[in-house]
Chains A and B, each alone.
Chain A
């Protein structure tokens, strides 16, 4: 829209002097720089340290470790018998471990799962380990809440099924 020539117009800005906006921006920058200098000289040592990442819940680490123990036992079995069956049982434990690791909250502190030493395992021993793992998982589930509890309840049921299959 063209300005109405009948209306009085503001005077054109003087190109030799800085405009009002430039003046305000400059003044603001000076204040910020001044404040920054104050922080740098007087308060830098008060800057809080970033909080350390929270540890992974102990029951979750224990559950992951329990799966690692079972996987090591399967890998060290001395009398595999039905290889297809053993592969299916192993696949369940791989799935359990992955599902548990997926529950580790993002931004948690690094955690370590003890690596079980390989030791020759008989089928009978594997059954005993599965039975014990099932009981442990149910116990951990009962003490947990939310998603972890439900996952552990299901894992406990699965491992009881392994006892049935391998016995």
Chain B
């Protein structure tokens, strides 16, 4: 598997984890703003998961399957933990999309599918923005990070 394929599959895996994770967080959120945000974000990740899978298939690759469970996301005991989990999910997605962007930005023999770099940028940005919203909701300060997708 090439570095690009590995990064592409990792982006899909991060999106799958996000969909699962919002399912865990959702039941603990009670404030209307949180619930609405979680629903919208879960829908965005589900849409992305579907489109990335389709792009991989179109490129002749077999998309990784979602895991049956994600033990690393537990425990989620209350609304505070749920908001913090949402921050983590978005950070993980930002990291995965940045990784794919880096693989695409390397000069190499691979011929990336048209538009994939733009998808990586848009998805990195979208996750960074969602992470800002959830940090703000969770009272995390500062609610912004200088380099989204870079693990500190």
Question: Which chain A residues have a beta carbon within 8 Å of chain B's beta carbons?
Answer: 84-85, 88-89, 91-92, 95-96, 99, 134, 138, 141-142, 144-146, 149-151, 153-158, 160-165
**A-B residue pair count with CB separations less than 8 angstroms:** 92
Q: Which of A144, A146, A161 contacts B131 (CB 8 A)?
A: A161
Most B Cβ at <10 Å: residue of A96, A149, A153? A153
Q: Which of B101, B128, B141 contacts A158 (CB 8 A)?
A: B128
State which residues 95-140 of B face A: CB under 8 Å: 98, 101-102, 105-107, 117-118, 120-121, 124-125, 127-129, 131-133, 136
Between-chain CB contacts (< 8 Å), 9 pairs = A138-B121, A141-B101, A142-B117, A154-B147, A157-B124, A158-B128, A161-B128, A165-B143, A165-B144
Closest approach, in angstroms, between the C-beta of A103 and any C-beta of chain B?
13
User: Is the CB–CB distance between B102 and A161 below 8 Å?
Assistant: no
A151's closest neighbor in chain B, by CB? Answer: B147
User: Is the CB–CB distance between A92 and B144 below 8 Å?
Assistant: yes
Question: Which chain B residues have a beta carbon within 8 Å of chain A's beta carbons?
Answer: 94, 98, 101-102, 105-107, 117-118, 120-121, 124-125, 127-129, 131-133, 136, 141-150
Assess A157 versus B107: contact at CB under 8 Å? Given A96-B146, A149-B101, A165-B144.
no
Given A88-B144, A161-B131, 16 new contacts (CB under 8 A): A84-B142, A88-B141, A92-B144, A95-B147, A141-B101, A141-B121, A145-B106, A153-B98, A153-B120, A154-B98, A157-B127, A157-B149, A160-B129, A161-B128, A161-B144, A165-B132
